[in-house]
Amino acid sequence: MTVCDLNGNLKFNILGPDWEKNKDNRKEYFSPTGVVVAKNYIIAAYLNEAGIIMDKQQRPRGNSPSKLMVFDINGNYIQTIETGHKFIRFCVDEENNRIIAYFNDRLNPLGYFKLNL
């Protein structure tokens, strides 16, 4: 993940674990599902798996994350949140201090959980 200032100048990069071992670029770390800046935190959908997987009929499908990684505004790691379900999108409800997500592996896809920061 590349973080720049508002003028486009590089501030820093955040790399996933074992990033240098990902020679074939099959593993995605910070998912295109989303990155949100809320309050003084950077919250990023975190996959750490192959971005394309095969379904039961051996057809290629996009993979979805089940984790969020939280960093402070300077890119320092704070915590990893495991949601227990794969999600497609998420947003932060700052007023109620929670994350709202659309899960793609649950009967009721819309859900939320408290953000304890």
24 in Cβ contact with 53 (< 8 Å): no
Segment holding 47, helix H or strand E: strand 41-50
Domain ranges of the chain: 2-86
What is the 8-class DSSP label of residue 96? Answer: T
Torsion sign, CA atoms 5, 46, 101, 95: negative
Confidence label for 5 from pLDDT (cuts 50, 70 and 90): confident
Q: Please name the residue that has the structure tokens 């969020």.
A: 68
pLDDT tens figures, 19-42: 666 565 566 666 666 888 898 999
Identify the three-state secondary structure at position 67.
strand
In whole angstroms, give the CA distance from residue 54 to residue 76: 34
Identify the three-state secondary structure at position 18.
coil
Confidence label for 105 from pLDDT (cuts 50, 70 and 90): confident
- In a 10 Å sphere around its CB, with 0-12 CB exposed, 13-18 middle and 19+ buried, how is residue 25 labelled? exposed
Q: Is the model more confident about 20 or about 113? A: 113
7, pLDDT greater than 80: yes
111, pLDDT greater than 60: yes
